[in-house]
């Protein structure tokens, strides 16, 4: 019986159990491409899955991990051949389909994106789902017609994964980036990524007024709740906020005032079921637009054995930037 090393999550009477062990290749789920996973990451959603703090995992046993990069080992689909380097983000991987914290994964060819030329698998996972989602947010703002000369852009959860990549991308594109963070000690880090101004996240996290002073034309929000409501209330006429996260909360205690009085738009961003053409566009833009030195500056690398502890740390807001997991 062929086996491979994996982190296996089980559901017991006392909650979720996590253990490293050997997983039988014969027990992999359906799919037409088998990938030798070389790198994964720890995203916020991975933290939720690993701690069981939210019902991310909906199939047991599960191999957690929502994204990976690796090399195709076997393929029944002409789109991929053994040796091809690929990226996977989402599609229920680590939720309903066996996931990334393992040496092997079997998935549908349609789910895979070819690794862009000039990018290595470690860099792809330094970007990971958080960085790819940041790119989707930037694309959403651009498709809304917004550009740097229209005014400043605000990024919340700035020192986190989505926030760090969003700042680097927006600054490179010429935006004046206002970074909102709860970690004042990370001001130099955020300025290094390209933030022009740093604000304390407490300015945005409490209940606010339906309309506030107009401060920015655009925003990338990884936080939700009162923060997103305040972002909307402070957006200039005709602006838009791309919302992708819930680090403060899933609620949205907002009013319609910004929409009906200032023509503000709220742009929802989902990475999990995002159609393939948009994924290819996002990964292409990440390959061309994201400064690799900035990516390296926001990245730490850990072995697979450390994902459980890092999953707890990311939910506690203790992870800066991005974490690459070397699957080995």
CA distances (Å), origin 306, targets 19, 125, 270, 302, 315: 12, 16, 27, 6, 15
What's the DSSP call for residue 224? B
Point out the residue whose Cβ comes nearest to ligand NDP: 160
Residue 269 in contact with ligand NDP, rule: CB under 6 A: yes
List the Cα angle 230/187/193 in 5-degree steps.
90
**What is the nearest approach in angstroms of ligand NDP to the Cβ of residue 77?**
25
- Pattern 145-184, ligand NDP, x by CB under 6 A: ------------xxxxxxx-----------------xxx-
Q: How far apart are CA 200 and CA 181, in angstroms?
A: 5
Q: In terms of residues, how long is the chain?
A: 328
What residues pair up with 274 in beta bridges, in sequence order?
none
**What is the nearest approach in angstroms of ligand NDP to the Cβ of residue 2?**
33
Which residue number, 105 or 133, has a Cβ lying nearer to ligand NDP? 133
Candidate residues 40, 105, 133, 310; the one interacting with ligand NDP per rule CB under 6 A = 133
**What is the nearest approach in angstroms of ligand NDP to the Cβ of residue 179?**
8
Does residue 207 contact residue 228 with C-beta atoms inside 8 Å?
Answer: no
Candidate residues 154, 178, 295, 319; the one interacting with ligand NDP per rule CB under 6 A = 319
Q: How far apart are CA 140 and CA 274, in angstroms?
A: 12
Residue 222 in contact with ligand NDP, rule: CB under 6 A: yes
Residues 234-253 that bind ligand NDP (CB under 6 A): 244-248
Candidate residues 129, 230, 233, 235; the one interacting with ligand NDP per rule CB under 6 A = 129
Beta strands in 136-277 (DSSP E): 153-155, 177-181, 197-200, 216-221, 235-243, 265-268
Site residues (vs ligand NDP, CB under 6 A): 43-45, 129-130, 133, 157-163, 181-183, 201, 205, 222-223, 227, 244-248, 269-272, 314, 317, 319
């Amino acid at each position: 019986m062929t086996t491979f090393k994996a982190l296996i999550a089980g559901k017991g009477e006392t909650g979720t159990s996590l253990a490293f062990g050997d997983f039988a290749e014969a027990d992999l789920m359906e799919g037409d491409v088998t990938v030798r996973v070389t790198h994964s990451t720890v995203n916020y959603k991975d933290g939720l899955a690993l701690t069981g703090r939210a019902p991310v995992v909906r199939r047991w046993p599960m191999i957690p991990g929502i994204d990976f990069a690796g090399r195709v080992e076997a393929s029944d689909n002409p789109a991929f051949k053994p040796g091809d380097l690929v990226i996977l983000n989402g599609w229920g991987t680590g939720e309903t389909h066996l996931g990334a914290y393992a040496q092997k994964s079997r998935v549908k060819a349609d789910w895979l994106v070819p690794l862009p030329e000039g990018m290595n698998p470690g860099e792809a996972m330094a970007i990971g789902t958080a960085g790819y989602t940041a790119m989707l947010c930037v694309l959403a703002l651009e498709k809304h017609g917004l550009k740097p000369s229209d005014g400043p852009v605000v990024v919340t959860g700035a020192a986190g994964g989505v926030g760090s990549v969003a700042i680097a991308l927006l600054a490179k594109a010429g935006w004046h980036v206002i970074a909102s963070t709860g970690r004042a000690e990370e001001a130099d880090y955020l300025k290094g990524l390209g933030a022009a101004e740093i604000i304390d996240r407490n300015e945005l996290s409490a209940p606010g007024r339906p309309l506030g002073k107009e401060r920015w034309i655009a925003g990338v929000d990884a936080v939700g709740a009162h923060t997103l409501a305040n972002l909307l209330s402070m957006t200039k006429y005709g602006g838009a906020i791309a919302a992708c996260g819930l680090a403060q909360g899933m609620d949205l205690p907002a009013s319609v005032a910004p929409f009906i009085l200032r023509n503000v738009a709220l742009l929802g961003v989902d990475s999990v079921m995002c159609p393939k053409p948009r994924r290819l566009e996002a990964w292409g833009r990440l390959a061309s637009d994201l400064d690799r030195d900035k990516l390296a500056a926001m990245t730490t690398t850990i072995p697979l054995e450390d994902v459980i502890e890092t999953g707890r740390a990311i939910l506690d807001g203790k992870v800066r930037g991005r974490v690459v997991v070397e699957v080995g």
